[in-house]
Amino acid sequence: MSGGPERVNRAPSRLQMRVCRYNGSMKAPSRILFRALLAGACLLAALPASAQTVLLIVREKKDAQPLPPPLAVREGVSGSLFDAGFIVIDAPGTAAVPGPTELAKLARSAGAELVLQCSTEYADTSLGADMVRISARTSFALIDSSNGGILFQGTGDATNKDRERDVGRTALGAEIGKDIAGQVKKAIESRSGPA
């Protein structure tokens, strides 16, 4: 027997386990935190300084009858604008679209700087044997919500001619929407520089 205290083997406490695990060093966690902060900074640098908000109003008709959602043109426009860094607020519905002044007031109440109003009318022609030629006429206007003024407007025609087997209304509408979004983005950039 020795005269000193007897040592008892016990399991290490929770605090001792943490100290042992990290060995009193915070190098690994600080490197991870630094990398996470660096990645976040790079992501923020890639985003536009301030995204513009657009109130999107789309109406699609076939033979003068409103089409029910989902609307292909709306999907094409909103997806393309979102990918370009815009915040898109959808105003769905089938009612008649009010004039620019009323749209501007609606956009301001939603917190949007711009209104994009699109109307598309489809006409189908049967070519027989499950083939339908789809023609579309589209008009759109980009409106400043501060004063109701029209900043940019356009019209266009589209068809699935020679692509009837591959391109239906949904695909054609999405193509139209992407084209409108591209024109709108260029118009905004020409007024204020790249978004």
**Is 70 exceeded by the pLDDT of residue 145?**
yes
pLDDT confidence of residue 12? 54
Give the residue among 138, 137, 89, 80 at the shortest CA–CA distance from 114.
89
pLDDT, one tens digit per residue, over 36-82 is 444 444 443 444 446 899 999 999 999 889 998 889 999 999 999 99
Judged by DSSP in three states, 105 sits in helix
Query: Do 168 and 176 meet the contact criterion of CB atoms below 8 Å apart?
Result: no
- Per cent of the chain over pLDDT 90 is 57
pLDDT confidence of residue 154? 96
Q: How confident is the model at residue 104 (pLDDT cuts 50, 70, 90)?
A: very high
Residues 6+ apart with CB under 8 A from 27: none
Residue 101 domain-assigned (yes or no):
yes
Q: Is residue 101 domain-shared with residue 187, that is, in the same domain?
A: yes
Tokens of 98: 């009010």
CA gap 189, 195 in Å, rounded: 6
Residue 159 domain-assigned (yes or no):
yes
Q: Is residue 21 domain-shared with residue 109, that is, in the same domain?
A: no
Q: Is residue 91 domain-shared with residue 181, that is, in the same domain?
A: yes
Residue 68 domain-assigned (yes or no):
yes
CA gap 124, 174 in Å, rounded: 17
Q: Is residue 20 domain-shared with residue 61, that is, in the same domain?
A: no
What range does the domain containing 113 cover? 53-192
Residue 8 domain-assigned (yes or no):
no
Q: Is residue 86 domain-shared with residue 117, that is, in the same domain?
A: yes
Q: Is residue 62 domain-shared with residue 40, that is, in the same domain?
A: no
Counting the structural domains of the chain, the total is 2
Domain CATH code at residue 183: 3.40.50.10610
Q: Is residue 29 domain-shared with residue 116, that is, in the same domain?
A: no
Residue 7 domain-assigned (yes or no):
no
Residue 5 domain-assigned (yes or no):
no
pLDDT, one tens digit per residue, over 158-168 is 999 999 989 99
